């Protein structure tokens, strides 16, 4: 803007830096959880996610020695490695929680009764005892070790396929899709016909109806919960998918009608009048001309409604049951936050499963979303 007059602003650098800071503030929270979802529980608790790309020195949780005994030269020996991988390096270790850094790697610790244990830097250990240790509790090793960056997809396997809080995330995912897809498609058709009538047909009370819809846009759906639950019970459908589809349809209609009407009003009058002169009925005009031309507006509303129904918690809590076959992702996540609040490896992976679809939709169809926002905010 400032270049119009031919002078380059001296603020350019400040602008670039400010935008970098802003973007960082808006991206890093999500990135933090994303990175965490690929770390093991120990790693998440041991260090901040921002350190996950550097080699870490940390106190590992105690590891108990285990393995098969072999008898050599009158001593019973157990050999093995503390770690599954070969990349962790021990810097110091001990055999009690009071002195976790008593020994250097390669040193030998005396455990009394002639039992000795030696731990190498790569985690390899040798436990040697003059009598058999079968059936006894073997000592634990407390080690401080440097661990190179390591990522795992196990968290996702865990949350997707093993039931946590009673239900697998995969099932919750399917439930959410079951709620969101019909609840997105059904209102579109109803709204499109209504919007056409409000935009292009003359009848008394039209202005009043438009005003009513603008008013209904902001009515909090909190008011609808109990009366509608009573209504659904009276109908005999109670809590279930049918009820939530109907509820989402009702709640989504004002925005749908408003968006579509605003868009349809802007379509060129000539096309519609020409079609009328040629003998087309309103029904034909609607299906053959208006509907195809309104595709951008239909797409924006569909995205809105999909994001809203997918992300919704309140309506799902009220109109769906809490059984495994009905609980949705957001509800499951809230339960997990209550029951597994500290298990970040589970929480972060579950959260990302629930965020993934909306994010995909968002990045793929962003331009429709922006257009819808611009048309939908009441001017």
Partner 1 sequence: MNPAIQALLTILIGVGGCLFYFYGSNLVLDKVLFPPRGPNAGRNINRANQIRPWLFLLPAIIALGLYLAYPVFATAWLSLNRQTGASSTFVGFANYSRMMSEDKFWESMTNNMLWLIVVPAASTAFGLLAAQLTDRIKWGNIAKSLIFMPMAISFVGASVIWKLIYDTKPADQAQIGALNAIWMNFDGGIGSVLLLKVLPALLLLIIIGGLGWLAWSMLRPILRGSEDRGGLFLMLLRLIVVAVSAWLIFTLARMLAGVFVADLPYGQPQTWLSLPFWNNFFLMAVLVWIQTGFAMVILSAALRGVPEDTIEAAIIDGANPFQIFFKIKVPQIMGTIVVVWTTITIVVLKVFDIVLAMTNGQWETQVLANYMYDKLFRANDWGVGSASAMVIMLLVTPILVWNVYNARKEMR
185 binds partner 1 (CB under 8 A): yes
Residue 86 CB-half CA count within 13 A: 0
Adjacent-strand bridge partners of 124:
81
Closer by beta carbon to partner 1, 94 or else 182: 182
Show the beta-strand stretches assigned E in the chain. Answer: 56-59, 63-64, 69-72, 75-81, 89-94, 108-110, 116-119, 124-129, 140-147
Of the candidates 109, 127, 198, 272, which one interacts with partner 1 according to CB under 8 A?
198
- Yes or no: say if 303 and 138 are a contact pair by the CB < 8 Å rule: no
1 binds partner 1 (CB under 8 A): yes
Q: How many residues bind partner 1 (CB under 8 A)?
A: 122
Task: Give residues 264-293 in contact with partner 1 (rule: CB under 8 A).
Answer: 281-283, 286
Task: Give residues 225-244 in contact with partner 1 (rule: CB under 8 A).
Answer: 225-228, 230-231, 241-242
38 binds partner 1 (CB under 8 A): no
11 binds partner 1 (CB under 8 A): yes
Of the candidates 75, 111, 121, 186, which one interacts with partner 1 according to CB under 8 A?
186
Instruction: Compute the distance between CA of residue 15 and CA of residue 8 in angstroms, rounded to an integer.
Output: 13
Of the candidates 138, 194, 237, 299, which one interacts with partner 1 according to CB under 8 A?
194
Of the candidates 249, 294, 300, 327, which one interacts with partner 1 according to CB under 8 A?
249
Contacts of 123 (CB under 8 A, 6+ apart): 81, 82, 83, 86, 88, 90, 143, 145
In this structure, the number of other CB atoms found within 10 A of the CB of residue 205 comes to: 8
CB of residue 81 vs partner 1: minimum separation in angstroms? 26
107 binds partner 1 (CB under 8 A): no
Q: Which one of 69-77, 141-149, 291-299, 370-378 is the stretch in contact with partner 1 (CB under 8 A)?
A: 370-378
Closer by beta carbon to partner 1, 93 or else 308: 308
Task: Give residues 151-170 in contact with partner 1 (rule: CB under 8 A).
Answer: none
Consecutive H or E run containing 247: helix 241-265
Task: Give residues 332-361 in contact with partner 1 (rule: CB under 8 A).
Answer: 333-334, 337, 344, 347-348, 350-351, 354-355, 358-359, 361
Closest CA to 272 of 291, 258, 259, 254: 291
CB of residue 271 vs partner 1: minimum separation in angstroms? 19
Instruction: Compute the distance between CA of residue 271 and CA of residue 266 in angstroms, rounded to an integer.
Output: 12
- Yes or no: say if 172 and 298 are a contact pair by the CB < 8 Å rule: no
Fill in the DSSP letter of residue 70: E
Of the candidates 41, 118, 193, 289, which one interacts with partner 1 according to CB under 8 A?
193
Of the candidates 103, 142, 173, 251, which one interacts with partner 1 according to CB under 8 A?
251
């Amino acid at each position: 803007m400032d270049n119009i007059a031919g002078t380059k602003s001296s603020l350019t650098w400040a602008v670039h830096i400010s935008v970098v800071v802003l973007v960082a503030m808006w991206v890093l929270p999500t990135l933090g959880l994303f990175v965490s979802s690929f770390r093991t529980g120990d790693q998440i608790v041991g260090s901040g996610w921002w350190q996950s790309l550097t080699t870490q020195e940390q106190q590992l949780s105690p590891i108990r020695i285990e393995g098969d005994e072999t008898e050599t030269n009158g001593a019973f020996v157990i050999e093995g490695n503390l770690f599954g991988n070969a990349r962790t390096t021990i810097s110091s270790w001990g055999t009690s929680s009071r002195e976790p850094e008593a020994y250097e790697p390669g040193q030998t610790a005396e455990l009394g009764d002639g039992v000795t244990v030696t731990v190498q830097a790569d985690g390899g250990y040798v436990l040697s005892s003059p009598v058999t240790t079968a059936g006894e509790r073997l000592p634990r090793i407390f080690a401080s070790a440097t661990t190179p960056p390591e990522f795992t997809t196990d968290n996702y396997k865990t949350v997707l396929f093993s039931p946590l809080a009673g239900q697998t995330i995969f099932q919750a995912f399917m439930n959410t899709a079951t709620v969101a897809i019909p609840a997105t498609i059904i209102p579109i058709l109803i709204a499109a016909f209504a919007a056409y009538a409000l935009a292009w047909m003359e009848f008394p009370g039209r202005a009043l109806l438009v005003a009513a819809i603008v008013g209904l846009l902001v009515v909090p759906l909190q008011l609808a919960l109990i009366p509608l639950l009573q209504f659904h019970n009276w109908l005999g459908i109670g809590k279930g998918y049918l009820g939530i589809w109907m509820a989402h349809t009702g709640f989504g209609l004002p925005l749908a009608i408003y968006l579509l009407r605003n868009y349809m009003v802007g379509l060129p009058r000539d096309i519609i009048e020409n079609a009328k002169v040629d003998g087309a009925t309103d029904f034909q005009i609607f299906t053959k001309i208006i509907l195809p031309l309104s595709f951008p507006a239909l797409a924006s509303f569909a995205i809105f409604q999909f994001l809203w129904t997918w992300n919704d918690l309140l309506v799902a809590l009220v109109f769906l049951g809490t059984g495994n076959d009905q609980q949705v992702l957001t509800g499951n996540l809230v339960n997990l936050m209550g029951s597994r609040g500290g298990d970040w490896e589970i929480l972060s992976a579950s959260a990302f499963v629930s965020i993934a679809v909306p994010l995909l939709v968002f990045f793929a169809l962003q331009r429709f979303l922006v257009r819808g926002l611009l048309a939908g905010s009441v001017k």
